[in-house]
Amino acid sequence: MPLSKRPTLTQYLIEQRRRFPSASGELNALILDVSIACKAIARQVAYGKLGEDAGMRRGGEVNVQGEVQKRLDVVSNEIFVSLAEWSGHLAGMVSEEMIDPYQIPGEYPRGKYLLVFDPLDGSSNLDVDVTVGSIFSILRAPDDVVSSGRDVTEADFLQPGARQVAAGYALYGPATMLVLTVGNGVVGFTLDPSLGEYKLTHPDLRVAEDAQEFAINTSNARFWEPPVKRYVDECLAGRTGPRGKDFNMRWIASMVAEAHRILMRGGVFMYPRDTRNPGNPGRLRLLYEANPIGFVMEQAGARASTGRQAMLDVMPEALHQRIGLIFGSKNEVERIERYHREGTSRDAPIPLFVERGLFRD
C-alpha cells in the first residue's frame, strides 16, 4: 500500500468513533495523549548512553517493587504523567514507578477514565540496546469518583482486566510501534520517522491457535510447579516426545517484545507462578503488565491465563500485585491450563515428568 494511503492513528480512532455516534471522543483523545507520550519515550530511549550527557536525572532510586529504577524508568514515568494529566480525561493514574495512585493536580479538570501503565518494560535490556516498550491499560473510574471529583484510592483501580476499555503497548525496537485494542480486535501502527505519525500497518492482528515456539526463563526451572515442568519437558522432548513435533525457544526478557513476537508469529510465553519467593507468587504485575497484554491477546484470538483461571477474570487485590502469567496461542495455553487441572501439587508430580524430567532439582 502506498504510504500516503495508510490511515494514521488519528484517522483510525475517528473511524472507530463513528461506530458509536454518542461517544464523546474522550477515549480517543486519551489514547492520542498516550501515543504522544510513547513517541516522546521512543526519542529518549533512542539517545541511549548519550541521554546521560544532557545532565538529566540519573535514576538509581528504589521503586515500590524494591527494584533499582533506571534513569529512563523515571524519565518515561514523568513523560506519561505530564502528557496525560492535563487533558481532563483522567480521574487518576497508577504506574509501576509510583507507590500510590497519582492524583490529577487541582489546576486541571478531572475526567472519567483511569490510566494504568508500565512506563518502560524490559528496562534491564536498556544497557544492551535490546527492544523495550511501554504498556498501558485504560479503565473507567467508578461512578462516584466521576460525580464527586474526589481523589482516587487504591480500591478504584482494583478492577478485573475484563473491564478494560482499551489497552496496548508501544515497542521501542528497530521500529517504534503502537499496538492497540479498544475491544474490537487488535491493530498495529508503525511510527513513520520522517512524519512523526503512527501509520496503520497491521489492521487485524490474529494469533495462530497452534504454535511450536515457547518462551520461559529456564534458569528458574527448579522453582517451577509440576504442570509447567511437564509442559516444557514435553516441548524439549520434541519430535520423539509426546508432542510429536520439535519446538523452538526464545527469551528476550522484555515481556512486551515477547508479546509482540507472539502476535506476529504465534507461540506461548510463560512467567508462571513459582516457589522462588513465597511472598511473590509470580514475577509480572497484574494491573499494568498481565491485564493489558491479556486483553490484547484475547482480542487477537489468543489466550491469557494464570494457569488456573483466565487472567481477565482475576479480581485484583493490590495495585502492585504480582501474578503468574501465561499467554499466547490458544491451544498451547489451554493445554497448560489442562496440565494445571490434572495435577498441581508439588508432592504428587506427574509420572511422565518424573520419568522424562530434564529440569529436576
Smallest gap from Cβ 70 to ligand AHG, in A, equals: 8
User: Binding of Mn ion at residue 234 (CB under 5 A)?
Assistant: no
Contact partners, residue 256, CB within 8 Å, separation at least 6: 118, 121, 122, 131, 132, 133, 134, 135, 169, 171, 293
Q: From 22-30, 42-50, 111-119, 173-181, give the range in contact with Mn ion by CB under 5 A.
A: 111-119
Contact partner at residue 326 from Mn ion, ligand AHG, none, CB < 5 to 8 Å by partner kind: none
User: Binding of Mn ion at residue 121 (CB under 5 A)?
Assistant: yes
Contact partner at residue 97 from ligand AHG, Mn ion, none, CB < 5 to 8 Å by partner kind: none
Q: How many residues bind ligand AHG (CB under 6 A)?
A: 12
Measured between alpha carbons, how far is residue 343 from residues 140, 264, 313 in Å? Answer: 38, 32, 22
Smallest gap from Cβ 121 to ligand AHG, in A, equals: 4
Measured between alpha carbons, how far is residue 34 from residues 147, 225, 327 in Å? Answer: 24, 38, 24
Query: Which neighbouring-strand residues pair with 138?
Result: 115, 166
Smallest gap from Cβ 348 to ligand AHG, in A, equals: 27
- List binders of ligand AHG among 98-127 (CB under 6 A): 118, 121-124
Q: Would you call 166 helix, strand, or coil by DSSP?
A: strand
Smallest gap from Cβ 307 to ligand AHG, in A, equals: 16
- List binders of Mn ion among 74-103 (CB under 5 A): 96
Nearer to ligand AHG, 32 or 253 (CB): 253
Smallest gap from Cβ 256 to ligand AHG, in A, equals: 6
Smallest gap from Cβ 165 to Mn ion, in A, equals: 21
Determine the distance from the C-alpha atom of residue 334 to the mean position of all C-alpha atoms in its chain, rounded to a whole number.
20
User: Binding of ligand AHG at residue 253 (CB under 6 A)?
Assistant: yes
Smallest gap from Cβ 11 to ligand AHG, in A, equals: 31
| CA dihedral sign, ordered 212, 217, 219, 223 | negative
Identify the residue among 148, 184, 217, 309 touching ligand AHG (CB under 6 A): 217
- List binders of Mn ion among 271-310 (CB under 5 A): none
User: Binding of Mn ion at residue 118 (CB under 5 A)?
Assistant: yes
Smallest gap from Cβ 343 to ligand AHG, in A, equals: 25
Residue 29: phi, psi to the nearest 5? -65, -40
Residue from 303, 275, 277, 278 nearest 290 by CA: 303
Query: Which neighbouring-strand residues pair with 113?
Result: 90, 140
User: Binding of ligand AHG at residue 16 (CB under 6 A)?
Assistant: no
Nearer to ligand AHG, 96 or 332 (CB): 96
Contact partner at residue 217 from Mn ion, ligand AHG, none, CB < 5 to 8 Å by partner kind: ligand AHG
Residue from 99, 59, 54 nearest 76 by CA: 59
Contact partner at residue 16 from ligand AHG, Mn ion, none, CB < 5 to 8 Å by partner kind: none
Amino acid occupying residue 356: R
Name residue, grid cell 507461540: 267
**Nearest position to ligand AHG, beta carbon:** 255
Name residue, grid cell 527469551: 251
Q: Alpha helix (H) ranges present in 94-225?
A: 143-148, 154-157
For residues 178 and 166, the answer to whether their CB atoms sit within 8 Å is: no
Smallest gap from Cβ 18 to ligand AHG, in A, equals: 36
Contact partner at residue 253 from ligand AHG, Mn ion, none, CB < 5 to 8 Å by partner kind: ligand AHG
| CA dihedral sign, ordered 67, 69, 72, 77 | positive
Residue from 311, 258, 303 nearest 286 by CA: 311
Cα 165 to Cα 316: distance, rounded to the nearest angstrom: 17
Give the interface with ligand AHG as residue ranges (CB under 6 A): 96, 118, 121-124, 217, 253-255, 271, 283
Give the interface with Mn ion as residue ranges (CB under 5 A): 96, 118, 120-121
